[in-house]
Structure 1
Amino acid sequence: MDIPSIKNEDQYEALRDKGYSKEKAARIANTKDAGKKGGKAKPYEEWTKEELYEQAKKIGVDGRSKMNKSELIESLRE
């Protein structure tokens, strides 16, 4: 089995240390701009459902098409 490369090793290791599964940590660490800080993003509650869906799609959240806005927020915060 091939192991995919991790774009942001530091973030991957930090997520693994927090107890994230290898798969979830890799998905997050491989998202575009993973690990960049800025503090300028608005809280998820201010995002549209479409924006939340697109973010969930980027990180590979399963079942996102059937989720409502609050479920999308919850899954993105996990």
Structure 2
Amino acid sequence: MPNKDIPQIKNEEQYEALRDQGMSKQKAARIANTKNKDMDTGGEKYEKRSKEDLYQKAKEVGIEGRSKMTKKELIEALRKG
């Protein structure tokens, strides 16, 4: 039975990458624990979204340099996570 007092990180790799970028523990955990409905295995695909939607998603996950990226670059950056 898992200990409910210890927070669980669902995507440890993403969490560590976000922490390395200087994000707070809480924000990194919140993002890493969010189910990514935008993956190619299900849900809406990035290509169907507008550049503005992709920009907002990139902003949400803390991708740097997003304001100068093309739609294709935003998609690639989001997929790398």
TM superposition score normalised by structure 1: 0.62
Is 1:75 the counterpart of 2:74? The answer is no
How far apart are residue 40 of structure 1 and its match? Answer: 5.9
Query: Which moved further from structure 2: 59-68 or 24-33?
Result: 24-33
Residue 24 of structure 1 corresponds to 18
Larger radius of gyration: 2
Q: Mind listing any 5+ residue stretches in structure 2 that lack a counterpart? A: 1-6, 20-24
Aligned partners of 2:32, 2:16: CA distance in 1, in Å? Answer: 18
Listed as ranges, the gaps of 5+ residues in structure 1 are 1-6
Give the Å deviation of 1:41: 2.6
Change (3 A) 1:11 1:53: same
- The answer on whether the counterparts of 1:53 and 1:65 sit within 8 Å (CA) in structure 2 is yes
Normalising by structure 2, we get a TM-score of 0.60
> Which one of the candidate residues 47, 50, 68 is aligned to 1:48?
50
Q: Please give the root-mean-square deviation of Cα atoms over the aligned residues, in Å.
A: 3.1
**Which residue of structure 1 lines up, in the alignment, with residue 4 of structure 2?**
none
